[in-house]
A and B are shown apart, each in its own frame.
Chain A
Amino acid sequence: MKGNQSQSALKKLLYNIADDLLILGHRNSEWTGIGPLLEEDIAFSSMAQDKIGQSLAIYELLHQLGEPHPDTVAFMRNANQFHNCQLVELPIGEYQFSLVRHFLFDHSLLLRFQGLTDSSYEPLAQVSQKLVGELRYHVMHADSFIRQLGTANEDSIGRMQTALDIAVPYALGIFEKSPEEEQIISEGIFTGEQNLYDAWCREISKTTSLTSLKLPELNPEQAITGGRQGKHTKHLQLLLDEMAEVFKLEPGAEW
């Protein structure tokens, strides 16, 4: 675990995770003030706060490994330097889209951190244990709304189904392997994207099977990938410009 090579594999995995958290956290925060119900406004705002805090915890790990300060990493990179999957950067759309994305993504996130509690990189295992407890609430929230809106009436089922059909190919991109994948597995840092994908298929099917929603065929060949290598939709740079607007006015400012 000490070699330079494995350190770069570890960093790559940490960037994937932290960037996913930061970008989805920012997207969730866009519901603050405009949620369809007061409780949902609060829920998305809380999940935004959780996820951005969680991203900070991972950027701190990277900082300890010699990467720049978390603020610099969060605010000063361009879109092509981000490693998040494309799913998380898509605009919030209508509520059903944000909900379906939250469902698809957060199941993968909970499973990922559950797996990482056994990571050979001890600081990551420690943080993961902490995050698993918090993320259970995110998944619980997602599942309860998928169940309600996936069974309520024709309108809600139709809207959820459309959102699911659009989001699934992007969700398959969560599991895009990096060139360092083999090393990440052999070093015991993480059990790997394939294992995560298999577990994820089982978990999301469990919830959708209780509804009238049809899970689109989960065919890895239809995955929309590239995010992990810095290839993004046009939406990410726009998000970053907005997120960093104030920071960039005076990068060294003490708040």
Chain B
Amino acid sequence: MKYTKEDILKWLEVVKDPEIPVISLVDLGVITNIDIGPDDKVLVDMTPTFVGCPAIDYMKKEVEEVLAAKSVKFDVRVSFKSHWNSNRITEKGRTALKKFRLTPPARYQVFPDLDILKHATCPNCDSQDTEMKSPFGPTLCRSLHYCNNCRQAFEQFKPV
């Protein structure tokens, strides 16, 4: 075998979320599985963050381009078999989101308690004295908040 799953994950790190260009698809957790077939064919499974996410086709194309550039045979599939949730975002991804001034989604057990949304930690001053303005923001995966401490509007990557 010429390459391993780890190699492929490393290659795919260059593919970023088109709306949040600081986080890779790997750290976002939308790459759900990688298999290497007996003929060295690379099988990549992906799943969208939100079912209606219009960026998934674009992301799939970018993944295919990276694999094509490495001259490997591949098949990239989008499915809901293993579906995305915000706990799939890696620590590295969370740090990148915060640096981008986007509050990372709180980790949760079983399912997210929506009360955590109402007191999202401000990515600018770390205050929890914040309020949610709307569960819907500029993209499907973000909500709008306001910080009473530093008096800045901010956004959170929604826990789902």
A67: Cβ under 8 A from any B Cβ:
no
Q: What residue in chain A is nearest B86 (Cβ atoms)?
A: A133
Q: How far is the CB of B156 from chain A (nearest CB, A)?
A: 12
A43: Cβ under 8 A from any B Cβ:
yes
Number of A interface residues at 8 Å Cβ cutoff, please give it: 26
Chain B positions within 8 Å of A136 at CB level: 112, 114
- In the docked arrangement, what's the CA distance between A42 and B143, Å? 11
> Does A133 lie within 8 Å of B160, measured CB to CB?
yes
| A117-152 near B? 1/0 per residue, CB < 8 Å | 000000000110111011011001100000000000
- In the docked arrangement, what's the CA distance between A136 and B84, Å? 15
Chain B positions within 8 Å of A53 at CB level: 50-54
> Does A50 lie within 8 Å of B52, measured CB to CB?
yes
Chain A 33-70 residues near chain B, CB threshold 8 A: 39-40, 42-43, 45-47, 49-54, 56-57
> Does B80 lie within 8 Å of A50, measured CB to CB?
no
> Does A46 lie within 8 Å of B136, measured CB to CB?
yes
- In the docked arrangement, what's the CA distance between A43 and B144, Å? 10
> Does B51 lie within 8 Å of A50, measured CB to CB?
yes
B140: Cβ under 8 A from any A Cβ:
yes
B94: Cβ under 8 A from any A Cβ:
no
Known: A49-B52, A50-B52, A53-B51. A133 touches B136 (CB 8 A): no
Known: A39-B133, A39-B144, A42-B137. A51 touches B85 (CB 8 A): no
Indicate the size class of the contact surface on chain B: 20 to 34
Chain B positions within 8 Å of A141 at CB level: 134-136
> Which secondary structure dominates where chain A touches chain B?
helix
| A76-96 near B? 1/0 per residue, CB < 8 Å | 000000000000000000000
Known: A39-B144, A126-B80, A140-B114. A134 touches B50 (CB 8 A): yes
> Which secondary structure dominates where chain B touches chain A?
loop
| B96-127 near A? 1/0 per residue, CB < 8 Å | 00000000000000011010010000000000
> Does A39 lie within 8 Å of B50, measured CB to CB?
no
8 Å CB contact of A127 from B80, B111, B140: B80
B38: Cβ under 8 A from any A Cβ:
no
Q: Which residues of B contact A (CB under 8 A)?
A: 50-54, 80-81, 83-85, 111-112, 114, 117, 133-138, 140, 143-144, 158, 160
Q: Which residues of A contact B (CB under 8 A)?
A: 39-40, 42-43, 45-47, 49-54, 56-57, 126-127, 129-131, 133-134, 136-137, 140-141
Chain A positions within 8 Å of B50 at CB level: 50, 53, 134
- In the docked arrangement, what's the CA distance between A129 and B136, Å? 20
- In the docked arrangement, what's the CA distance between A188 and B5, Å? 39
Q: How far is the CB of A81 from chain B (nearest CB, A)?
A: 24
Q: How far is the CB of B117 from chain A (nearest CB, A)?
A: 8
Q: What residue in chain A is nearest B144 (Cβ atoms)?
A: A39
Chain B positions within 8 Å of A40 at CB level: 134
Q: What residue in chain B is nearest A40 (Cβ atoms)?
A: B134
Chain A positions within 8 Å of B53 at CB level: 53
* A and B contact pairs by CB, cutoff 8 A, 24 listed: A39-B134, A42-B136, A43-B135, A43-B136, A45-B136, A49-B52, A49-B140, A50-B51, A50-B140, A51-B52, A52-B52, A54-B51, A129-B83, A130-B83, A133-B85, A133-B112, A133-B160, A134-B51, A134-B160, A136-B114, A137-B136, A137-B143, A137-B158, A140-B135
